[in-house]
A and B are shown apart, each in its own frame.
Chain A
Amino acid sequence: MKRRTFIKGVAASSLMGISAADLQAETPKRVSDNSPVLTGKEFYLDIDYTPVNITGKAAVATTINGQIPGPTLVWQEGDTVTLHVTNHLKKYSSIHWHGIILPAPMDGVPGISYKGIAPGETFTYTFKVGQHGTYWYHSHSEYQEQTGMYGAIVIKPKKREPFRYERDYVVMLSDWSDEKPAAIYRKLKRMSDYYNFSQRTVGDFFSEVKEKGFAKAFEERKMWNGMRMSDRDLSDVTGYTYTYLMNGENPATQFKALFKKGERIRLRFINGAAMSFFDVRIPGLKMTVVAADGNHVKPVSIEEFRIGVAETYDVIVEPVSNRAYAIFAQSIERSGYALGSLTPSASQLANAPKMDKPQPLSMVDMGMDMTNMDHSGAMKCGSGMKMSKTKSMQKYKWKAMETQKYPVTKLPMARGVQTTMMAMSPKYRLDDPGVGLRNNGRRVLTYADLKNRYSTRHHKKPDREIVLHLTGNMERYMWSINGIKYADAKPLRFNYGERLRITFINDTMMNHPMHLHGMWSDLETGDDNHLVRKHTVIVQPGAKISYRVTVDAKGGWAYHCHLLYHMAGMFRKVIVV
């Protein structure tokens, strides 16, 4: 495979040129081509090794049609698409269509949907596209996603969308390392803080003493250290090894999205990273969020949003002046960023703003009850903590979610080596922008802002509920659900036709983006009449979150944390019967 990557021109990346006429006039090609946007009903995708140079060092990527990201696939809602995927690797491979509702055998998860695509084999996927919006696809085999196997899916709607724009760009965020993913995982297993270079120092303690007084600083240290927890543990893998990419471009080469003053631009953000959450903003511009995970939401105007691994957000921006704007996506632990320019001319690039300081995790992120001042019984140790009551996360509407009662199906639970923490008092924190974004002076999107554009009033009420605890042992780098890792777990049984409420409780200090295959996750964000429809839901550290699933897809499905190095353990097979 000698094709060069990064052949994407500026103009070629815009999707506006694609008209309905193109969709119809499309003639299928026998072989894959290396254009960055492929449109039509029939697609040829080739998985192969490709030499790349992303950091200044030569490396070998696994690619789709020789590109990172793989080609953007443009489909039409209502069409039946056929995708011929040929594996030229020496290992099994696969492609999963993330967020697409399709029959189980087409879902592309080795060991669940099919056996995977053997070396040299071609697998043909075919399914009817019954949705529209921004999605993505990626390998579901080993760590191939980390080494370049991901791309965008844009599905053109049948009906005109309820918003207008003149330009349309995919903004795919990702993380690249020259290290082999298996080597990264082995390092984490042996030294889980290997990549964390913003750990607490002795000096931090002294600044806290200055700031809060000795007694309080000491009490806090006593509590965290007593529990052997770090408040600086935001990402397992960081900019120490990662280069953050925007549409395959590093911050030096920059992705460029062209505009003319006065135009409205639709940006389709997709987080295709293996391990990185990004906080995204375009300094100087407000963004109007119009879709989340492909589905229309009530428009909300914001200045910044956090995008978890595998989530997508569509925003519309209207540049007010004829200058280059930075599309700035800093990683959650602030060790680096992806950068692009929204610019009137390809020669005019924006400068990156300064990265924000990382915020340490708080007691809230440990799942402690911040409304109860004496903490009696709220935590295992560190009794006698005197915390000043910070801005309460509790609001009345979340209370309502607490009191929604449905029959709960008990699931097996283990508390052993797998679990170092238990959220003693997990709360719905839908309006919490999350660690690093709290009180930063900007209008930051929260899940509480997300309301389905359309009414969900007539959706069936849940028949029953299951509670899943996200569990882990950061010291040993083990991840699990309900204290049981995938290899030791029985599949979850969902009943065909039921409406199921799923509540997550995060017993870890990390954000986990939970992805249910095959069925929508209708997230409770405070208004039952406008449940927002997602495929990937962030469960914040120490928090609780609930969504509803209409179980309308028979077969076996994957259900997992989308952080690549958590996935092997924090995974369940779902069987719908």
Chain B
Amino acid sequence: MKQKEINLKKILLLLGSCMAIGQTLQAAGADDPLRTMLIMDRLEILDNDENTRAWEGSFYIGYDIDKLYIYSEGSATSEGLESSQNELVYSRAIAPFWDIQAGIAYDKNSDASRTWGEIAIAGLAPYFFETRAALLVNSNGNTALRLDAEYEALITQKLILTPSLAVDFYTKDDPSMQTGSGLSAAEAGLRLRYEIVREFAPYIGVTWEKTFGNTRNFNAVDETSLLIGVRFWF
């Protein structure tokens, strides 16, 4: 406890001295202030039998080049959590449009959980595809590849159509996580949001989810659902 307090003091002192330096360098101002952003990209209810609630969001704190990210996505029903994937990564800009990321991931479903080591690449691919590819390894020797891509098409300045695609691959079967080797699951979505302000947009959409290969032995899904949700950030 004592140690923690000292650390906190040190951090505050450091911050204080940084601000003092900032004051003397006012000629150009601070070009790279510390910032945070929490974005809840999806917070939605699906029109299926379970009325699944789903979320996908991220939070970062950092600078132009270096950031710390938390990613989280998952779904829940009235019976509780179905599954979630959570990540804590250090992110570094290595190219104009690309960040490389490394950290840990934590998957959870109703009866089991897995912790992974992770590296990922995230950024804006040519033709404005927002993309992320993550490679995960866990102590059971399972390896996962998770790919996400999203595109924004402006119908008007405030009405935005977002097609998205996510696919997961694994090298091993993991019955308690209900994932099988090979192509495991794919999810395609189409969401139409209206940005009342940049920071807040309700949306409607449709999502299609399907499991493949061995995964079907644990959890056969092939479902298309309408959905309604909100997207917000601050």
Residue in contact with A198 in the complex, picked from B25, B30, B33, B157, CB distance below 8 Å: B157
Q: How far is the CA of A567 from the CA of B126 in the complex (A)?
A: 28
Tell me which residues across on chain B come within 8 A of A141, comparing CB atoms.
26
Q: Is B6 an interface residue (CB 8 A)?
A: no
- Contact of A419 with B96 in the complex, beta carbons under 8 Å: yes
Q: Is the contact region of chain A dominated by helix, strand, or loop, or is it mixed?
A: loop
The reply to whether the CB of A320 lies closer than 8 angstroms to some CB of chain B is: no
Q: Does residue B94 face the partner (Cβ distance < 8 Å to A)?
A: yes
Contact across chains for B35 and A190 when beta carbons are under 8 A apart: yes
Q: A199-B154, A473-B96 are in contact. Are A228 and B126 (CB under 8 A)?
A: yes
Whether B198 pairs with A110 at a CB distance below 8 angstroms is no
Q: Say yes or no: A112 contacts B27, CB within 8 Å.
A: yes
Q: A125 within 8 Å of B by Cβ? A: no
CB distance from B34 to the nearest CB of A (A): 10
Partner pick for A225 among B23, B96, B128, CB 8 A cutoff = B128
Instruction: Determine whether B230 belongs to the interface, using a CB cutoff of 8 Å to chain A.
Output: no
CB distance from A515 to the nearest CB of B (A): 13
**In the complex, per-residue mask of B158-199: 1 if CB is within 8 Å of any chain A CB, else 0:** 000100000000000000000000000000000000000010
* Contact across chains for B154 and A202 when beta carbons are under 8 A apart: yes
| Contact status B27-A197, CB under 8 Å | no
A141 to B29, CA, bound (A): 7
Contact of A115 among B24, B94, B124 (CB under 8 A): B24
Interface mask (A470-485 → B, CB under 8 Å = 1, otherwise 0): 0001011011000001
Query: Which A residues, 28 to 56, have Cβ-Cβ distances below 8 Å to chain B?
Result: none
Contact A486 B26 (CB under 8 A): no
Q: How many residues of B contact A (CB 8 A)?
A: 31
Q: Which residues of A contact B156 (CB under 8 A)?
A: 201
Is there a chain B Cβ closer than 8 Å to A278's Cβ? no
Q: Tally of A-B residue pairs with Cβ under 8 A?
A: 105
With a cutoff of 8 Å between Cβ atoms, the chain B residues found around residue A420 in the complex are: 96-97
Which single member of B24, B30, B128 contacts A568 (CB below 8 Å)?
B30
Chain A residues touching B, range: 35 or more
A186-201 vs B, Cβ < 8 Å mask (1 yes, 0 no)? 1001110010011111
A408 is an interface residue with CB less than 8 A from chain B: no
Q: Are B23 and A92 in contact (CB under 8 A)?
A: yes
Give the residues in chain A near B137, CB-CB below 8 Å. none
Whether a CB of chain B sits under 8 angstroms from the CB of A373 is no
Give min CB distance, A97 to chain B, whole Å.
15
* Shortest CB distance A261–B (Å): 45
A487 interfacial contact with B, CB 8 Å: yes
How would you classify the secondary structure of chain B's contact residues: helix, strand, loop or mixed? loop
Q: Does B31 contact A (CB under 8 A)?
A: yes
Query: Quick one: given A191-B198, A199-B154, A567-B28, are A182 and B124 in contact (CB under 8 Å)?
Result: no
Cβ-based interface call for A226 (8 A): yes
A94 to B64, CA, bound (A): 28
* Residues of the B chain whose Cβ atoms lie less than 8 Å from the Cβ of A222: 127
Contact B29 A190 (CB under 8 A): no
Q: Do A417 and B64 contact each other (CB < 8 Å), given the known contacts A182-B33, A190-B35, A228-B124?
A: yes
Once the chains bind, are A190 and B126 in contact (CB under 8 Å)?
no
Q: Is A227 an interface residue (CB 8 A)?
A: yes
Whether, in the assembled complex, B37 has its beta carbon less than 8 Å from a beta carbon of chain A, the answer is yes
- In this complex, what residue of A is CB-closest to B65? A417
* Cβ–Cβ contact B37 & A190, under 8 A: yes
Q: Is B95 an interface residue (CB 8 A)?
A: yes
> In the bound complex, do residue B127 and residue A568 qualify as a contact, i.e. CB atoms below 8 Å apart?
no
Q: Is the CB of A110 within 8 A of B24?
A: yes
- 8 Å CB contact of B97 from A189, A475, A485, A487: A475
Contact of B93 among A111, A228, A417 (CB under 8 A): A417
Contacts known (A190-B35, A201-B154, A558-B27); A226 close to B96, Cβ less than 8 A: no
Bound complex: CA A535 to CA B145 (Å): 56
* B37 neighbours in A (Cβ, 8 Å): 190
Q: Would you call B154 and A475 a contact (CB within 8 A)?
A: no
Q: Is the CB of A486 within 8 A of B28?
A: yes
Q: Cβ of A142 < 8 Å from any Cβ of B?
A: yes
Flag if B95 contacts A228 (CB, 8 Å): no
B71-97: CB near A (< 8 Å → 1, else 0) gives 000000000000000000000011111
How distant is B158 from chain A, measured CB to nearest CB, in Å?
A: 8
A486-B31 CB under 8 A given contacts A111-B24, A202-B155, A228-B126: yes
- Does B111 lie at the interface of the complex (its beta carbon under 8 Å from any beta carbon of A)? no
5 A-B residue contacts at CB 8 Å?
Answer: A111-B26, A199-B157, A478-B32, A478-B64, A487-B32
| Further pairs besides A568-B29, A571-B28: 16, Cβ < 8 Å | A110-B24, A110-B25, A110-B26, A112-B27, A116-B24, A116-B26, A201-B154, A222-B127, A226-B127, A381-B126, A417-B94, A475-B96, A479-B31, A560-B28, A567-B28, A568-B32
Closest 7 pairs between A and B when the two form their complex, measured CB to CB: A568-B31, A111-B27, A110-B26, A568-B29, A569-B31, A420-B96, A201-B154
